[in-house]
Structure 1
């Protein structure tokens, strides 16, 4: 009986904590939507993928600790796949370890909202983590593309890290031009894909696409260095090491 009572109390605490985080909007806190891929495979290659864990965990804690409500969504809803490689050393971080032991955070990850079911106009900013999965779903999803176009047009921050800027491939400005035309952006470099020996498995090169669409693409001289670019409401980060920097920049921008 004692063990049953402890289990019940633990459940109550988790549920209470969950509702406490989701009720922040009622208190006037700004809301950030983290948008993830629902794809766990790299096409027909047989290679598994998903969202890169650090690019979810660190923004989640950075934004929440800054006082913002954070809501997770994925294209299909439910359990958003995480790249298994990103859950192993040396790619884990203090925040990924913390996330794995955080019942509320794990509940949110395993029960993400279906993106198209949300009223995205209720959010003040977007944060899109990377990972190769989104090349196969979010990058060609009309709802996701229009959401980003609308946020950009309304001057709401759109933060995208690693491969997430791939979603900008078909995004347009109100005048019909590519959204990134004339903007300074970054994203996962060809050299970083090449170092992982994954370039041949991808649907398209992120770096080449951004340049072809008229963006002023900037990357670092060496792979894996943290690097972000901010041009108007569009905020981009190059790789996993850039996620903490980008999350802090977004938190600071929302505080203005």
Structure 2
């Protein structure tokens, strides 16, 4: 077993869907489930966001206590985790070399600010060049679209990837609201896009690049991230 893993989770700072102003943000379960998968495996987790400070939560992803996914209720009752979410580090304060992996949870907010952040693109490009694991789930792969591999090609180019499908976006009625369709963009960048049926769990590890399709895939994406780090199967 290697020394204690350090995992950086980068969250959206976008609380609204562009000029339309509809509330959005981070999909809570896509943070909470991977967060505790990593914590329970003995890793340390740092929460950062595009702007720093409190990370917005999509109001559709949180219910009254006792009605959420178990990981969400656990997070809500965890003072240290809640404080970290309210005091996220800004990307400008982060050095990727300090971490073993970078993980991007989803939520529709990611579609607006992650692709527009040159700091994020540079951080992911550096992390990849340094041999780190790069992972993202659901809309989180929107943060990968401007990252490059060691050859200068798009990070997703000629690599197996997944993310929220175009048909899933249509099913939730937001295909006209988002600035682009994620599946289509990943394909246009040369990604070897794969998916399961809509809203079914599905994740892929192509070497150090790990992606998950939708909210149902967060646990599997986190598991594959640990496997990529440890180089072995994780139960």
Same fold per TM (> 0.5)? Answer: yes
2:210 maps to 1:249? no
More helix by share: 1
Q: Which has the greater radius of gyration?
A: 1
2:114 maps to 1:101? no
- Structure 1, 183-192 or 144-153: larger mean CA deviation: 144-153
Q: Which residue of 2 aligns with 1:19?
A: none
SS for the counterpart of 2:19 is: coil
What RMSD over aligned residues (CA atoms) do the two structures have, in Å? 1.7
SS for the counterpart of 1:88 is: coil
Q: Which residue of 2 aligns with 1:211?
A: 187
Conserved? CA contact 1:155–1:232, under 8 Å: no
- Structure 1, 246-255 or 66-75: larger mean CA deviation: 246-255
Report the count of equivalent residues.
229
- Structure 1, 194-203 or 135-144: larger mean CA deviation: 135-144
CA distance in 2, matches of 1:167, 1:141: 8
CA distance in 2, matches of 1:58, 1:168: 21
2:35 maps to 1:35? no
Q: Which residue of 1 aligns with 2:30?
A: 55
2:130 maps to 1:154? yes
- Report the TM-score when normalising by structure 1: 0.85
Q: CA deviation at 1:91?
A: 8.2
Q: Which residue of 2 aligns with 1:65?
A: 40
Residue correspondence of structure 1 range 1-256 to structure 2 within 5 A: 28-88=3-63, 92-220=68-196, 222-256=197-231
SS for the counterpart of 1:82 is: coil
Structure 2: segments with no counterpart, 5+ residues: none
Structure 1: segments with no counterpart, 5+ residues: 1-27
SS for the counterpart of 1:132 is: coil
SS for the counterpart of 2:190 is: coil
- Report the TM-score when normalising by structure 2: 0.93
Conserved? CA contact 2:104–2:143, under 8 Å: no
SS for the counterpart of 1:48 is: coil
Conserved? CA contact 1:190–1:205, under 8 Å: yes
CA distance in 1, matches of 2:4, 2:108: 32
Q: Which residue of 2 aligns with 1:5?
A: none
Conserved? CA contact 1:85–1:91, under 8 Å: no
CA distance in 1, matches of 2:56, 2:21: 15
